[in-house]
Amino acid sequence: MTATTPDAPATTPGDRLRWAVSDGWTIARRYLTHWVQEPGRILAGLLFPGMMVLLFGYVFGSAMKVPGGDYREFLMPGLFAMTMAMGIAVTVTSVTTDAARGVTDRFRSMPMARSAVVTGRCIADMVNSVLDLAVLIGCGLLVGWGWHRGPGAVLGALGLLLLLRFALIWVGIYLGLVLPGPEAVPVVLAPVYPLTMIANTFVAPGQMPSWLGAIAEWNPLSATVSATRRLFGNPGIGPGDSWAAGHSLLLAVVWPLVLVAVFLPLSVRRYRRLSR
């Protein structure tokens, strides 16, 4: 009997695929097990979405008016997308921490598929993102948000939100692999929060200065927010003045797919070339 090693992979494409899926799920379970063993981290992660709803919905939202609807109905799709985008911080931090502690090097020395570590990280982060989204939806329902379309449209909106998170996970994995250590993470993530604000998350781009509104309309986050507002039937949707505003459903699919097409192969290639 011969042992399968990273330098001597399974012989057929089907065997290699099964090997990669099995190893990726094993790594994902390792991440999820560690996450479950930290109840304080779980509690903090679940409380954060509720705090965002209260802060933006009641403190800032008390002065906001939305034609044709309630501001909290306008706000919640923006918070859904913003939470998916902010999850990149968790991905980058986890990847750089594993590398600094030598965990990544230990994985590389084991007889597993070369893609398992990055795909396992992606699976674990997607599971966490589904839970975050569920909690945020519950908070939205408590403050009066709701959807006004059929189940197909609602599932489509949730799918677009998770597609955005999936794309940004690969951006986070790549950044985590190229950073020299966890101390560099705050510098890289510093632009993330402003980018989530320069979008239609909290106000319509038409209420911004013209140059800033143009940037906001073409922000990939804005496409997902506009598309989910449309699918949920929440206020704030409209044809807009730009091509981007009028084709938000298309861009909400295209932007994430472009990010995946660029950063997924870059992440796998970077992992394979570590310490070379």
Question: pLDDT (tens digit, 9 = 90+) per residue, 70-103?
Answer: 888 899 999 999 999 988 988 998 899 888 888 8
**Which band of pLDDT confidence, cut at 50, 70 and 90, is reported for residue 237?**
low
Residue 167 has pLDDT above 80, yes or no: yes
pLDDT of residue 108: 76
Look at residues 215, 204, 220, 112 and name the one whose alpha carbon lies nearest to residue 166: 220
Residue 173 has pLDDT above 70, yes or no: yes
In sequence order, what are the residues at sequence separation of 6 or more whose Cβ sits closer than 8 angstroms to the Cβ of residue 205? 212, 213, 214, 216, 217, 222, 240, 245
The CA distance from 136 to 163, in Å, is 17
**Which band of pLDDT confidence, cut at 50, 70 and 90, is reported for residue 166?**
very high
- Lowest mean pLDDT across 43-52, 150-159, 249-258: 43-52
Look at residues 145, 149, 168 and name the one whose alpha carbon lies nearest to residue 81: 168
The CA distance from 264 to 276, in Å, is 20
CA separation, residue 204 to residues 75, 222, 224, 226, 234 (Å): 10, 10, 14, 10, 13
Domain boundaries, the chain: 51-272
Torsion of CA 144, 149, 151, 154, to 10 degrees: -70
In sequence order, what are the residues at sequence separation of 6 or more whose Cβ sits closer than 8 angstroms to the Cβ of residue 222? 199, 200, 201, 205, 216, 244, 248
The terminus-to-terminus CA distance of the chain in angstroms comes to: 31
pLDDT of residue 181: 82
Mean pLDDT of the chain: 84
Token readout for 63 is 């002065």
pTM, whole model, 2 decimals?
0.87
The CA distance from 214 to 218, in Å, is 7
Q: How many other CB atoms sit within 10 Å of the CB of residue 245? A: 23
Q: Percent of the chain at pLDDT above 90?
A: 32
Higher-confidence residue: 225 or 17? 225
Most confident range (mean pLDDT) of 99-108, 185-194, 214-223 is 214-223
Most confident range (mean pLDDT) of 12-26, 61-75, 206-220 is 206-220
pLDDT of residue 3: 41
**Which band of pLDDT confidence, cut at 50, 70 and 90, is reported for residue 20?**
confident
Residue 151 has pLDDT above 50, yes or no: yes
**Which band of pLDDT confidence, cut at 50, 70 and 90, is reported for residue 254?**
very high
pLDDT of residue 194: 84
